[in-house]
Amino acid sequence: MAEGGGGGRRIGVAMDFSECSKKALKWALDDLARSGDYIILIDVRPQRSYESGEMQLWESTGSPLIPYGDFSNPATMKKYGVEPDAETLDMVKNVAHDKEVVPLMKIFWGDPRVKLCEAVDNIPLNCLVIGCRGLGPLKRVLLGSVSKHVMNNATCPVTVVH
């Protein structure tokens, strides 16, 4: 992937297919992406014990980068345990065509706070966009805030979309 000023940036979007992550994706596609950029949807799945299969190979490093043609195919995504919704796929497909960006997906397994920070360095990303669930102060203390942790620990610029 190209480095760079005039395009070819690697823009990560934390994606769990919730409404807040779709808002973050929409913001990244509408307001940040430009021709030649790579939009990398980063999905962090719960940690599980896998007896066999490809997922065992990628538990520590995440999946390979998955092109749109593969992550829009339900049969392909079933082996990763991911079900992208039609709204997200349409959004990515339309903007990819209109703005000439390259959509990719990478899947990690484990704690989203840790894996999103690791993704920044492992891919590597030029920036990361993440949604915010808007937890109140008490729930944030009890559940922890993924966006706050990532914002404080990632080694690239992080944009939190409310």
> Is 18 a domain residue?
yes
> Is 92 a domain residue?
yes
> Is 1 a domain residue?
no
> Is 106 a domain residue?
yes
Q: What is the pLDDT of residues 86-124, one digit of tens each?
A: 999 999 999 999 999 999 999 998 899 999 999 999 999
> Is 3 a domain residue?
no
Domain count, the chain: 1
Looking at per-residue pLDDT, the higher value among 61 and 12 belongs to: 12
How many helices (H) and strands (E) the chain has is answered by 8, 6
CATH code, domain with 15? 3.40.50.620
Write the secondary structure of 13-25 as one string of H (helix), E (strand) and C (coil).
EECCCCHHHHHHH
The domain in which residue 121 lies consists of 10-161
> Is 142 a domain residue?
yes
Q: What is the pLDDT of residues 123-142, one digit of tens each?
A: 999 999 999 865 555 544 44
> Is 5 a domain residue?
no
> Is 28 a domain residue?
yes
The overall average pLDDT reported for the chain is 85
- pTM for this predicted structure: 0.86
Evaluated on CA atoms 25, 26, 28, 29, the torsion sign reads: positive
